[in-house]
Amino acid sequence: MDLKQELQNRIAEIEEMLEQYIPVQKEFPPVIFEAMRYSLFAGGKRLRPMMVLAACEAVGGNKKTAEPFACALEMIHTYSLIHDDLPAMDNDDFRRGVPTCHKVYGENMAILAGDGLLHHAMETMAKACFMNPCKETTGAMAAIAKGAGLYGMLTGQVVDVYYEAKPMTKEILDFIHVHKTAAMIRGALEAGARAGGATEDIVAKFGLAGEKIGVAFQILDDILDVTGTMEELGKPIHSDEKNEKATYVTLYGIEKSREIAADLTEEAMQIWEDLGSSCDFLAELTTYLLKRTH
Ligand code: GRG
């Protein structure tokens, strides 16, 4: 498989889908659509929607069922990035290679653009459930809402903010990584598997793989914040140090952090192998994420 080409094709497909859910708004008030679209279409690896669609296909489901959930998840992810960059949070000026939403549209409109994406994600998923009421759709919506909410990303962010400039333990850092980052990746894979009609035990395997991939992903994010460049990442480096955030790198150093991320990746790969060749793309994606430079 030419993974680079495959990723490009899948990204293009997801961007076409997203266009249908958040079109250019010509009627009043266009500014909110502009601000939402500015951040949504600024680039991004589209990993989470890619995982929703790939998981659905891997369990033999119809990709069409998963589409609204894939798009909704990318809307929620983008909202979290807009809010994470705000002056009250990480106060960052660049994201996805362009000035952050609040730098272009102002802080008030950036807050509203984030809210708009979150609400539109919920509306998109609820409509999909209404049009096709079944446990596949409602289960997918529940998995995504859980990944983003009080038992997922939101709470991870709360603990992350609370522990800024405070002594950090391994347990708290793991809580932050599992919730802030891994819960959305777990949610993506579980939602895809649910949309595809997988049984509970298979959904659980996708979820577990998602958690391992998600924590490894955040460890890499911590490493790249130190070793990467702004050009590669599309966002400022040394953001964690600026915000006095403890990370895997500050707790374990770069080499040990890489080892932990590699071990988690290996554990996820074992799950894909057990699930069989229908998970080949997810396995390739998992390996790629460990080697990523952005
Ligand atoms: C409610 C005010 C308020 C804020 C919520 C929840 C939240 C803000 C922020 C946490 C989200 C966050 C920044 C998690 C970190 C996960 C992470 C490494 C994101 C970057 O993901 P990539 O690399 O980004 O997939 P692209 O741009 O490629 O999509």
pLDDT averaged over 10-residue windows placed end to end, the chain, 294 residues: 95 97 90 97 97 98 98 98 97 95 98 98 98 98 98 97 93 98 98 98 98 98 93 88 90 96 98 98 98 92
Which protein residues touch ligand 1 with a CB less than 6 Å away? Answer: 44-45, 47, 77, 80-81, 83-84, 96, 153-154, 157, 180-181, 218, 221
Q: Which atom of ligand 1 is nearest to the CA of 42?
A: 27
For the chain, the residue count is 294
Tokens representing residue 147 in the block: 């990944």
Report CA(276)–ligand 1 centroid distance (Å). 31
Task: Indicate if the alpha-carbon torsion angle 287, 180, 35, 26 is positive or negative.
Answer: positive
At residue 93, the pLDDT reads 96
Report CA(81)–ligand 1 centroid distance (Å). 4
Q: Rounded distance, CA 43 to CA 51, Å? A: 17
At residue 171, the pLDDT reads 97
Report CA(77)–ligand 1 centroid distance (Å). 6
Report CA(62)–ligand 1 centroid distance (Å). 28
Phi, psi of 70 (to 5 degrees): -60, -45
Tokens representing residue 126 in the block: 């609820």
At residue 240, the pLDDT reads 84
CA dihedral 244, 185, 97, 86 (to 10 degrees): -50
At residue 87, the pLDDT reads 97
> H or E segment at 234?
none
Q: Which atom of ligand 1 is nearest to the CA of 180?
A: 14
C-beta separation of 262 from 286 below 8 A = no
Report CA(195)–ligand 1 centroid distance (Å). 24
Helices (H), 168-253: 170-176, 183-195, 200-227, 230-233, 239-242, 248-252
* Residue of 8, 77, 81 best suited for mutating to test ligand 1, as the one with most atoms within 8 Å of CB: 81
At residue 289, the pLDDT reads 97
pTM for this one? 0.97
* Residue of 180, 245, 289, 294 best suited for mutating to test ligand 1, as the one with most atoms within 8 Å of CB: 180
Report CA(134)–ligand 1 centroid distance (Å). 30
C-beta separation of 175 from 155 below 8 A = no
Report CA(157)–ligand 1 centroid distance (Å). 9
